[in-house]
Amino acid sequence: MLVLSRGKNESIMIGDCIKVTIVDVRPDGTVKLGIEAPKDVEIFREEVYYAIQEENKLAAQTSTKLKGLEQLFK
């Protein structure tokens, strides 16, 4: 893990196309980040990312009865 120190309004670059800027640092230690990235780059909070991954695993394990679906499209 790379650890960097940055202050308010300072940025880091990830590759050539992702810019992360410190927007605000609050007294309680909360940091607001601004992220500029191409539209095709998905950005999620970590807990949301893992929830999506878990839902995708569950969906992949669920079997669908195709016979019933076939009749819907006849």
Confirm whether 3 is domain-assigned. no
Confirm whether 69 is domain-assigned. no
CB neighbours of 34 closer than 8 A, spacing ≥ 6? 20, 21, 22, 23
What is the model's pTM? 0.73
pLDDT in tens, 10-60: 999 999 999 999 999 999 999 999 999 999 999 999 999 999 999 999 888
CB 19 within 8 A of CB 33: no
CB 34 within 8 A of CB 21: yes
Using CA atoms, how far apart are residues 20 and 62, in angstroms rounded to an integer? Answer: 38
C-beta atoms surrounding 18 within 10 Å: 14
Confirm whether 5 is domain-assigned. no
| Domain span holding position 57 | 11-62
User: Which H helix or E strand runs over 73?
Assistant: none
